[in-house]
């Protein structure tokens, strides 16, 4: 059993989202396809949506949440996720959306592992909210994929 704090998890998520934003920004620079550029721009702003969700918590609750230690370390997504999903500059919107959905699923899986642990209700609600945000992003990507597919 290896304890990890919510703060450490949020820092890891921030790093993952930063890698994700960089990955899609780089892809956007490599393609001339306007639709792909629009989708990659939307995805690269993912981090700002997470920050916005966290900022809705009162500062004292957020400070408390960051200090909470989880009993079990969830599987933290990282660079290996990018190895599994390679997108070329010739990718279609459908390809980009499919990869984005997969990245969302990595985060959802991690958040669900956290929610299943014995944690305070406020912390559980925070991660349930993050799950809903990721699921909303996933749905948006699927709609875009259907529109362009």
| 128-143 confidence digits (pLDDT tens) | 999 998 898 888 888 8
Q: What is the pLDDT of residue 149?
A: 66
Pairing of β 69-70 and β 4-5: antiparallel
Q: Can you give the residue range of the structural domain that contains 55?
A: 4-148
pLDDT, mean of residues 90-118: 87
Residues 69-95: what's their mean pLDDT? 79
Distance CA 77, CA 14 (A): 11
Question: Is-contact 144 97, C-beta < 8 A?
Answer: yes
Give how many domains the chain has, as a whole number: 1
The CATH number linked to 31 is 1.20.1260.10
* 51-60 contact pairs (CB < 8 A, 24+): 53/129, 53/130, 53/133, 54/10, 54/126, 57/126
């Amino acid at each position: 059993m290896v304890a990890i704090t919510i703060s450490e998890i949020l820092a890891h998520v921030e790093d993952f989202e930063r890698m994700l934003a960089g990955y899609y920004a780089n892809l956007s620079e490599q393609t001339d396809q306007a639709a792909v550029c629009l989708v990659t721009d939307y995805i690269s702003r993912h981090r700002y949506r997470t920050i916005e969700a966290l900022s809705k918590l009162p500062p004292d609750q957020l400070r408390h949440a960051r200090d909470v230690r989880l009993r079990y370390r969830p599987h933290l997504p990282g660079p290996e996720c990018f190895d599994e999903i390679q997108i070329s500059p010739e990718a279609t919107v459908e390809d980009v959306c499919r990869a984005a959905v997969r990245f969302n699923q990595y985060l959802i899986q991690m958040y669900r592992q956290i929610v299943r642990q014995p944690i305070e209700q406020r912390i559980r609600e925070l991660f349930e909210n993050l799950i809903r945000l990721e699921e909303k992003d996933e749905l948006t990507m699927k709609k875009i994929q259907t529109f362009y597919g």
